[in-house]
Homo-oligomer: A and B are copies of this chain.
């Protein structure tokens, strides 16, 4: 349900399919699809793309490889993998023989997204509810007419309802996706690293 840079009025424009120079089209398509989804949920487009290449390849990759494959700058890759690492969806390993780090995708991207969403959304709606309740209190204290008070209360009720709907969604999403997560996990990366 969210949206970021996803406008209601005109064309929905998803990120251009071009920016991946040397990638086979199918891979670029899949990678960008993940990027779009991730962006949709409030993360950065390129965080999704990085995870996606790593996941699709199955092997581990160096920062330099990521730069080349995705057409990103050195600095960008550094920051992106740092985030992904922090969230535990990518691990960093030191390859013997080479002086470079290698990165590998964990399969729990979805879990991570759900967790973050949950925290974020819950905090948000809680805040809204608090504000509306505060408003109601202040309004009541300053002797606002009963009609207006009634309206305020209805708004507050809406917030409560929204919170419940959200909770239900997160629960069903968990149940619903957990089956898929199992599936994702069982092909368990036999990464030829």
Contact = CB atoms under 8 A, between A and B. Distances in A.
Interface stretch (A62-70, A93-101, A137-145): A137-145
Decide if the interface of chain A is mainly helix, strand, loop or mixed: helix
Copies in the complex: 2
A178 to B, nearest CB: 9
A155 B183 CA distance: 10
A172 B166 CA distance: 9
A72 interface: no
25 contacts: A1-B2, A3-B3, A3-B4, A3-B121, A4-B42, A6-B42, A6-B124, A8-B120, A12-B127, A24-B138, A26-B135, A30-B132, A30-B152, A33-B159, A34-B155, A55-B151, A55-B155, A56-B155, A147-B190, A151-B187, A154-B184, A161-B176, A165-B172, A165-B177, A169-B172
